[in-house]
Amino acid sequence: MAKQTLVKFEGKIVIVGFGSVAQGVLPLLLRHIDMPIDRISIITGHDRGRAEAEAIGVDYEITPLTRENFRNVLGARLSRGDFLINLSVDVSSAALIEWCCEQGVLYLDSCIEPWPGGYTDPALSPSQRSNYAHRENVLALRARFPKGPTAIPTHGANPGLVSHWVKQGLVDLARDILGRTTIPTSRAEWAQLAMDLGVKSIHCSERDTQVATPRKRQGEFVNTWSVDGFIGEGMQPCELGWGSHEKHFPVDGHHHEFGCNAAIYLDRPGASVRVRTWTPNEGPFQGFLITHGEAISIAEYLTVREGDKIIYRPTCHYAYHPCDDAVLSVHELAGRNWVSQEQHRLYRDEITEGIDELGALLLGHEKGAYWCGSQLSIQEARKLAPYNTATSLQIAAGVLGAVVWAMENPDAGIVEPDELDFQRVLEIANPYLGPVVGVYTDWTPLLGRNHPFPEDLDTDDPWQFKNIRVS
């Protein structure tokens, strides 16, 4: 793809972490941001990706960031007007955002990360280990920094692009169902539109069919975007935004005792919970209900209140079927009592075929269900950008879109994906996403069900979570 400069940037960029996503992002930054290459540098805790960085000519340094050193390490490299892109694991997003707000440095990450132990410390309750809690910690910084440099937590593909596909889906439904062509301009208008349409549930629905040679071996965890990241989030408590239409609270479900109260959690790891969902190519399938930031932020963003009373909120959650070998890896991980395999392998160059079908599935409106998202194949991904799988390029495109938006809007403060201009971000990301489609379906979680225990179903409302969850 020819270079297409989107923005000129006068500052420096430091990328923290250089796993698969960062390796895929770097060529996109160089392609679309007008700045000298010597003002971009990498700080990482491992030597993965060194060859890719050296081939491009970007400075690469192995210095793991810790609670004790991050201020000194970053302070020597960044100052007001610069940009910190955090694509690491085990480095606290809240700590880095706080530092960036103090220093006037722009910030972006693709997932809110805690310091080591924040996901797994047995001294912490499941609620304290949740994405809900980590998000509340980050958003609490808004009270101290109501204005200042733009800081965007959780903007890759999902969380990230999925929030923009939700908005695009709502716009498409408004046109087709209500005959409306005006685009909402405020949070309240988006929430009212979702309520007017009758959207009851929103899935971030993903089916990854990529296949690699050699296949997964015994005692090995494999994946197409990150092994450490997937294991970490898969072992966190299962979380979902909890909708106002729900009549059956899960027996293993809990409300949090603090924060916005837009989400609940279950007493089990997300990688042990399955849900029914749908994508256009795959059709109906079962995915893992992995905790993700969009489940909380979208549910809260689309809430309608009358005074203190919530009158509308959609249920929102991730529904993820990773590549088949990653599913085998999860089954093996669970059988090991959630003790990680000794060997980890990231699929990239060895992938031979397949696509990642990722989008927002809006359920319960007059037309039933509508899916809006990306159908990116490994062959197309390799044509579009180096060092990527279909999955990592979708994430990298989301990172690129948000980085450019932040550079164009450098004083927005701490903002979530739902608060960005969805049209601008998609304009930047779409060239890297393969076919981007909107598809209606008559699928419901009750369709074709020959349930051995029909009393466990709510046939009056197919969009109840109890129908979507696999018992």
Mean pLDDT by 10 residues, the chain (471 residues): 76 97 97 96 94 94 97 98 97 98 98 90 90 97 96 98 98 98 98 98 98 97 96 95 98 97 97 98 98 98 96 98 98 96 97 98 98 98 97 98 98 98 98 98 91 75 97 82
436 by DSSP, 3-state: which? strand
Q: Among 272, 273, 447, 426, which residue's Cα sits nearest to residue 360?
A: 426
- pLDDT given at position 453: 62
Residues 387, 301: Cα–Cα separation, whole Å: 34
Domains contained in the chain, CATH given: 7-152 (3.40.50.720), 161-389+434-468 (3.30.360.30)
Contact 349, 151 (CB under 8 A): no
Residues 199, 212: Cα–Cα separation, whole Å: 38
Burial label, 300 (beta-carbon count in 10 A; 0-12, 13-18, 19+): buried
In sequence order, the β-bridge partners of residue 15 are 42, 85
Contact 196, 188 (CB under 8 A): no
The first and second tokens of residue 27, run together, are 């060529």
Residues 280, 291: Cα–Cα separation, whole Å: 23
